[in-house]
Amino acid sequence: MTSVLVLYMSRQGHTARIARHICQSIEAAGSRAAMMDVVEATHEGVDWDRHDVVALGAPVLYGTYDKSFLEFVAAHEADLSKKPNSFFNVSVVARTPEKATVAGNRYMQKFLELSPWKPKDLKVIAGKVDYPSWAWHERFMIRLIMKYTDGPTDPTTVIDYTDWDDVAAYGRHLLTLR
């Protein structure tokens, strides 16, 4: 039975929800899945030998990845590279079809340029706009970005652009990497 470890960084919980959905689809396919936040993994360590495949995911925040996430990747590049692996990013930009592809997502391309780890498999996942849950300065900045990208700017807007069936399919796809 294949065991998949889904490591993730989440700021407000949406990427954690995606990681959980990935794990549920793996378990529904009859395999084992575990998920672990990179903060927890940094403090407690990872038993890399317990897993056959590793997936690592992070949200894009204001066009960048969190510094602690990039530090985790750099510190564990060798561990990540030893196993069949995949990287997924989560961004609202991926709400449009052309930016939901690896080639069309500039944040995926940016990760590939910056990261010492070169994932064997890549996935872009659309995120969520949730203005009411964001601090005022985040609402302001995201609304400004959305204005320029023809996205929603109403500060009461909550839109989940995530294709949950595609996320489940990605989980099943991870089992083929072994």
Please count the structural domains in the chain.
2
pLDDT tens digits, one per residue of 82-134: 999 999 999 999 999 999 999 999 999 999 999 999 999 999 999 999 999 99
Mean of pLDDT values over 59-83: 94
CA distance 39 to 45: 10
State if pTM tops 0.85.
Answer: yes
**Neighbour count for residue 40 (Cβ, 10 Å):** 12
Starting at the earlier edge strand, list the strands of the sheet with 32-37: 32-37, 3-8, 53-59, 85-91, 122-126
- Whole-number mean pLDDT of the chain? 95
Which CATH number is 45's domain given? 3.40.50.360
Question: Domain residues for 72?
Answer: 3-127+164-177
